[in-house]
Chains A and B, each alone.
Chain A
Amino acid sequence: MGQIEWAMWANEQALASGLILLIGGVVGVAGQFRDWEFAAYGVAAGVFVILLEYPRGKRRKGTTMERPGQWFLAAVVKLFGPLTRNYYVRAILHACLAVPGGFILPTVLGTVNLGIASLIYLLAAFRKEEWRPIQAAQTQKGHVGKSIHQPPTNPPPRPPAEHRRKQMDDGRTGAIEVTATP
């Protein structure tokens, strides 16, 4: 399993746990269960985890699919720099957030799932993975050689386009040989 980026799975698991914690908290508060204050905490913690985990980080290899509308949250998460970039911090954060949910029943599921997400993040951190924001589509690298749309710089008679390009980049061998006929 050498190529697996655990952070991808940890991210999905943490997002789901945040949602479960939120739903459990809502149930506890709405039903006015005993000790419903813990449920209110569950709502707040759940929302926080969802906001933190929604922007998907950039994968090391290949293109990353963004979640719809994540650019805004990604900008906010990027602001915190090393706190959000480092997965050890995230693992400990999730572990701490999970603990108070274990005291009342509606949030117990959220606790267990967030705990598991924290463990997977710990594994990701051991493997030196990091959260990086997905950049906007990179601008295309300039072509090797000028585009044919640009007007020529030398007066006629001019050799054909390939020859001009060959003259520009001397180190590179062209794919085809064209004899220049003025």
Chain B
Amino acid sequence: MLGSALAWSRASAMCLNFNCLLILLPVSRNLISLLRGSCNYCRSNIRKQLDKNIRFHQIVAYMIILHTVIHVIAHLFNIERYHASYSPVAKDLLIRLSSIGKNSSENYLNPIRTYDTNPVKELLSSAAGVTGIIITVAFVLMVTSSTWVIVKSFYEVFWFTHHLFIIFFIGLIIHGSGRIVRGQTRQSLQEHNVTYCKDHYEEWGDIPECPLPQFAGNEPVTWKWVLGPVFLYICERLIRYYRSLQKVVITKVIVHPSRVLELQMKKQGFKMKAGQYIFLHCPSISRYEWHPFTLTSASEEDHFSIHMRAMGDWTSALYEACGAHLRGFREAWKMPRVAVDGPFGTACIDVFYYEVSVLIATGIGVTPFASVLKSIWYKYNQPATTMKVERVYFYWICRDTHSFEWFADLLQSLEVQLMERGRSRFLSYHIFLTAWDEYQATHIALHYEENKDVITGLKQKTFYGRPDWNKEFKRIADDHPGANIGVFFCGPNDLSHVLHTMCNLYSSANPQGVQFHYNKENM
């Protein structure tokens, strides 16, 4: 009756089962943290794959799109052909098959019982059809609200629409419960000789080789596939809810220029490593939203901090709730209650294990390095800890330091402290501003001879334009022959490729010579 369309629809259904199983796993971030913690003995490259969880989630979603398209098209053909099996022009075998079960309803094969209907009505009268439409529409809405434009600019639309996945999974489990796809039962197949009987369809029930065939519906299997991940995800949400009840105290709020807010917080039992991130939740602003922020404090400090720029709805609301737009002192009990989930992410602790570390960041990618630099500073000052790293080069490339004045302040305080210890050679940083105009250029040229840089106030001068990586790498390689140099980068992919190439280019062929090791960090 159905031709190959049945096979297409069943195959894609199986693939959909598998993909729907997979799609919940990458977003269970606490589960991933658990996995990451347990494979501490693996190399960090393997652990870093777990950081690509969102990308994996997206790829599985693309596969679900593909299989849904195949599944829906195949079923369109199925319904049409079921219906056409009654029509006067259909082959007689089909009519014979369709007519089985007029008397007792358990034994029919064709789920469409009469000709006097149309496929749309049939669809809407079956559980599978109705749930199919509902979950496909929910899925389409989830996909259209997850495009890059919407996620970047209107995060709330994406967040709330994506919760349609609850309807999606409920509908998916119910989808097969109607047992609409029917096939011959195993027992009937043993009695009924299919190859012989298909040509003798008028004699079914009359001749011994062909007793009347028995049909039954297929059992729904989707629940077996998705039950595990659904359970794990429910656990994940419960963990997040429990974390949201744990007490987090805001100990200090610092207002930086360009609407950047630094929140220093304390929470019992919170342990972090450099380069990790947390999710912040503020029930008084929004009951359900958790937003990710990179941690900017070092693990040696007694508090943890984030730097947050007030740009969207939620961040601006938090900015005002902390009283940042008002002047003057604000009592601690006036601070909004917040909750913290995390820390997540692979820590960039490898920085401490190379003799020379080169840190390169572009724009906002500088945020995890704030934590790393502070950590290096603390470790450096404790004579007890042995830190392998002896020299740190820091490159920061951004359009302008607007909205990163706080980081320039951090560098300045580090510079001052290092000079006091007489160790100014430990850290050398190079800032490259790529957005400059002629007016600025003349201003800078006039003040070139001065001691401090005019823009940042730092002793080391700011450069304009992009760095010449060949020159930089050559200089570092010449200064440290025979050393293992770790290069850490946080920023866009094209620069990442350039840097990786540079590392390979300037590592010497001699294994005893200078070796550059490239690591890309996540934001």
Contact = CB atoms under 8 A, between A and B. Distances in A.
B446 A105 contact: no
B478 interface: no
B143 interface: yes
A4 B157 contact: yes
A112 B133 contact: yes
A59 interface: yes
Interface string A1-16: 1111100110011011
Contact of A8 (B143, B150, B312): B150
B442 A23 contact: no
B140 A103 contact: no
B72 A109 contact: yes
Contacts of A46: none
Given A17-B140, A147-B438, A160-B446, 18 more contacts: A8-B150, A8-B153, A9-B154, A12-B147, A12-B149, A20-B140, A23-B73, A31-B80, A34-B84, A65-B149, A105-B79, A106-B76, A109-B136, A113-B137, A144-B439, A148-B442, A161-B442, A176-B446
Nearest to B73: A27
Contacts of B80: 31, 33-34, 105
A143 interface: yes
Give the secondary structure class of B's interface.
helix
Contacts of A106: 76
Contacts of B438: 143, 147-149
Contacts of A9: 144-145, 150, 154, 157
11 contacts: A3-B154, A9-B157, A24-B76, A31-B77, A34-B118, A62-B153, A105-B76, A105-B120, A143-B439, A176-B446, A178-B446
A104 interface: yes
Given A3-B312, A8-B150, A145-B439, A105 B157 contact: no
Interface string B77-95: 1011001100000000000
A113 B143 CA distance: 12
A131 to B, nearest CB: 15
A34 to B, nearest CB: 7
- Give me the 6 closest cross-chain CB pairs, A-B, nearest first: A105-B119, A12-B144, A13-B144, A4-B154, A33-B80, A106-B76
Interface of B: 69, 72-73, 76-77, 79-80, 83-84, 118-120, 123, 133, 136-137, 140-141, 143-145, 147-150, 153-154, 156-157, 312-313, 437-439, 442-443, 446-447
Given A23-B69, A23-B73, A103 B157 contact: no
Contacts of A33: 76, 80, 119
A13 B141 contact: yes
B74 to A, nearest CB: 10
B268 to A, nearest CB: 34
Interface in A43-66: 56, 59, 62, 65
A162 interface: yes
A59 B149 CA distance: 11
B261 to A, nearest CB: 19
A144 B439 CA distance: 9
Given A8-B153, A176-B443, A16 B140 contact: yes
A16 B154 contact: no
Nearest to B77: A31
Residue with the greatest number of chain A CB neighbours at <10 A, chosen from B119, B140, B157 = B140
The CB with the most chain A CB atoms within 10 A, among B79, B133, B442, is that of B442
Contacts of A12: 144-145, 147, 149-150
A109 B143 CA distance: 15
A105 B123 contact: yes
A10 to B, nearest CB: 9
A64 to B, nearest CB: 8
Contacts of A97: none
A62 B140 CA distance: 27
Contacts of A56: 149
A15 B147 CA distance: 12
Which residue among B69, B76, B150, B442 has the maximum number of chain A CB atoms within 10 Å of its CB?
B76
B237 to A, nearest CB: 22
Contacts of B72: 109
A148 B120 CA distance: 73
Contacts of A23: 69, 73
A127 to B, nearest CB: 13
A104 B153 contact: no
A59 B123 contact: no
Contacts of A149: 438
A16 B143 contact: yes
A178 B79 CA distance: 85
Contacts of A105: 76, 79-80, 119-120, 123
Interface string A94-120: 000000001111101100110010000
Nearest to A26: B73
A158 to B, nearest CB: 15
A108 B148 CA distance: 28
A146 to B, nearest CB: 10
A140 to B, nearest CB: 9
Nearest to A5: B154
A137 interface: no
A175 B443 contact: yes
A106 B312 CA distance: 41
Interface in A118-160: 143-145, 147-149, 160
Interface string A79-92: 00000000000000
Nearest to A17: B140
A34 B153 contact: no
Contacts of B141: 13, 116
Contacts of B136: 109
Given A4-B154, A16-B144, A33-B80, A162 B120 contact: no
Nearest to A115: B137
